[in-house]
Amino acid sequence: GAVVSQHPSRVICKSGTSVKIECRSLDFQATTMFWYRQFPKQSLMLMATSNEGSKATYEQGVEKDKFLINHASLTLSTLTVTSAHPEDSSFYICSAYRRFGDNEQFFGPGTRLTVL
Amino acid sequence: GESVGLHLPTLSVQEGDNSIINCAYSNSASDYFIWYKQESGKGPQFIIDIRSNMDKRQGQRVTVLLNKTVKHLSLQIAATQPGDSAVYFCAENIQNYGQNFVFGPGTRLSVLP
């Protein structure tokens, strides 16, 4: 199966700092990647759709200036949480899309962000 | 519409029993569905999928049933094992419309020894 990695797996930062999370598709090219946020005991909430070479599409209520997404290559998308605050603490998960027969999404292992 | 995060319902089953996890999906136009398993602190893992032209699909120890009339999906796990303990999500998609999947609220499965 396709492999998607995320780095870092866990990060703790001070309030006001920025944090960058990387999402890589290791063995296939992904023109589209998705970023999700998951709070404890809740489902995955789509934040934005990242398309290689173009601007990301953000879901309603997600601040694009706070959650900067860059999809510079077919195997890498980055999410930068700018000026992080404690309420941004969450589990961030990316997925990479591939259409091979059916629409398929392959998920990364997630990044646990804790903002102090 | 998007799934809304709610507190997870929990299903507790005895080891060795069969489990049935249910999901009501939102969009009658959805034609492709996936069940994911998510263990604590990890990303979702693909379990099994089904297209809307089918009402049943079987995998290894798992069966997915689709009832389009009532927009209902179920995941059956046979002979539930401790390693099956996780949160299970259904996700829906419209194949020719977009790449995005909408996730259900999830169900936590606890396997009792």
User: What is the token pair recorded at B21?
Assistant: 């996890």
The whole-angstrom distance between residue B38's C-alpha and the CA centroid of its chain comes to: 11
Distance, in Å, from the CA atom of A88 to the CA atom of B87, rounded to the nearest integer, reads 23
B33 — contact with chain A (CB < 8 Å)? no
B67 — contact with chain A (CB < 8 Å)? no
Instruction: Please tell me the predicted confidence (pLDDT) of residue A54.
Output: 85
Average pLDDT, chain B: 89
Nearest alpha carbon to residue A92 among A34, A50, A16: A34
| Chain A residues touching B89 at Cβ < 8 A | 43-44
What are the b/e assignments for A15-52, b being 16+ CB within 10 Å? eeeebebbbbbeebebbbbbbbbbeeebbbbbbbbbbb
Distance, in Å, from the CA atom of A55 to the CA atom of A50, rounded to the nearest integer, reads 7
Inter-chain touch A103–B99, beta carbons under 8 Å: yes
Inter-chain touch B99–A45, beta carbons under 8 Å: no
Among the partner-chain residues A32, A102, A110, the one whose CB lies closest to the CB of B43 is A110
Instruction: Please tell me the predicted confidence (pLDDT) of residue B3.
Output: 40
B contact test, residue of A52, A102, A103, A106 with most B CBs within 10 A:
A103
Residue pLDDT, tens place only, B45-97: 999 999 999 999 999 999 999 999 999 999 999 999 999 999 999 999 887 66
Residue pLDDT, tens place only, A29-40: 888 899 999 998
pLDDT band per the 50, 70, 90 thresholds, residue A51: confident
What are the b/e assignments for B5-29, b being 16+ CB within 10 Å? beebeebebeeeeebebebebeeee
Over residues A65-78, the mean pLDDT reads: 92
Among the partner-chain residues A44, A104, A110, the one whose CB lies closest to the CB of B103 is A44
Inter-chain touch B42–A110, beta carbons under 8 Å: yes
Over residues B94-101, the mean pLDDT reads: 72
User: What is the token pair recorded at B109?
Assistant: 């499965």
Residue B4 scores a pLDDT above 50: no
CB atoms inside a 10 Å sphere around CB B89: 25
